[in-house]
Amino acid sequence: MSGIPSAEVFQAIVDRIDSGVYAVDLEGKISYWNYGAEKISGFLSQEVLGRACRDSILVEYDDHNPVMCVHHCPLEGVRNGSRQEAMTYLRHRAGHVVPVRLWTMALKDRAGNIVGAVKVFSEKIAVPDLREEMSQARVEDLDAESGVPSRVSTETFLREQIEACTTQKAVCGIIAIRLENFDDFRHGHGMEAGSAMIREVARTLKDMVRRSDMVGRWTTDGFLGMLPGCGIEPLGRVAAGMKRVASRVAIPWWGDRLSLNVSAKITMIESGDTLEALEERLRAAEEEPEQAATSTGA
């Protein structure tokens, strides 16, 4: 029928859509990779076609399994032909971790036999921002190394939140994120590797909060997350999620991938607080456990 597009037309359409689409065969080798997959993952089609996903090409992480590459068993969940959907994470070619919505479907031949799987993924939409007016007027100086707000901008925003909590009885949660053994890492691999790790961790963290929140550079080896309106219980879930996901950042380096563990501590701003009092509470706080986080917002 002339009204039905040909297979070539369908492929041309899929080739150009912004959502990532790729196919794997029964051995987990990539047989198709579209423009959207290139854009979201950073991997070009010529880098991945014919290679197995498990070869550190595209690592998927499940919220309930700390380090799970689903491609070790690519058809495990689709052998009955059903479609599956999940909120998960993909590690970008540069090393940071990208939150995505992932659909997985069985790929069948004309006889109905399963010959592989098709995966479709799109970047996860940020947590809804209920106080967008707070972010519209914010002017930030960015830290040159990390690309997130500098220590000066972070401190300014923190002082504003302290003032709001003191005079308006507002609520604001604080998360201190630190790269463990960062000095040893930088000494062993060089300043350039250290800067790359800081940059990719920062890119990962800033995608996990609302626009009204801020993740800024605080120390040489750490960041500060400030979440206005966030109570202690959701704050703990966000911190656990940040720790879990940021610890999966792995930068490509001379044919290898380098990573660092990340720690996270939390506190709430108290009426009449000072920066010194906040830092002291964070130093004394216990590290947040690496639990499955059900939300990245307040």
Q: What is the pLDDT of residues 40-99, one digit of tens each?
A: 999 999 999 998 876 666 666 654 333 334 333 445 556 666 678 888 888 899 999 988
Q: 22 pLDDT band (50/70/90 cuts)?
A: very high
Between 207 and 62, name the one with better pLDDT.
Answer: 207
| pTM for this predicted structure | 0.79
d(CA 169, CA 298): 17
Radius of gyration of the chain (CA): 22
Nearest 5 degrees, angle CA 152-CA 165-CA 126? 65
pLDDT score recorded for residue 222: 97
Return the SS3 of 117.
strand
* Average pLDDT along the chain: 84
- Average pLDDT over every residue of 237-244: 93
CB 243 within 8 A of CB 290: yes
pLDDT score recorded for residue 67: 33
For the chain, give the percent of residues with pLDDT over 90.
Answer: 58
pLDDT score recorded for residue 288: 82
pLDDT score recorded for residue 157: 96
- Average pLDDT over every residue of 232-256: 93
Q: Please report, to the nearest 10 degrees, the dihedral formed by the alpha carbons of residues 134, 126, 142, 238 taken in order.
A: 90
pLDDT score recorded for residue 143: 96
d(CA 8, CA 13): 9
pLDDT score recorded for residue 291: 55
The predicted-structure confidence for 138-158, as pLDDT tens digits, reads as follows: 557 999 999 999 999 999 999
- Average pLDDT over every residue of 186-211: 95
The torsion region of residue 79 among left (phi > 0), alpha (psi -120 to 50) and beta comes to: alpha
- Average pLDDT over every residue of 191-201: 98
All structural domains of the chain, each given as residue ranges with its CATH number in brackets, are: 7-123 (3.30.450.20), 132-284 (3.30.70.270)
Residue 176's CB: how many other CB atoms inside 10 A? 24
**Does residue 131 have a pLDDT over 60?**
no
**Does residue 111 have a pLDDT over 80?**
yes
pLDDT score recorded for residue 295: 34
Cα–Cα nearest to 157, from 179, 177, 144, 174? 174
**Does residue 225 have a pLDDT over 50?**
yes
pLDDT score recorded for residue 5: 61
**Does residue 125 have a pLDDT over 90?**
no
* 77: its two tokens: 């969940």
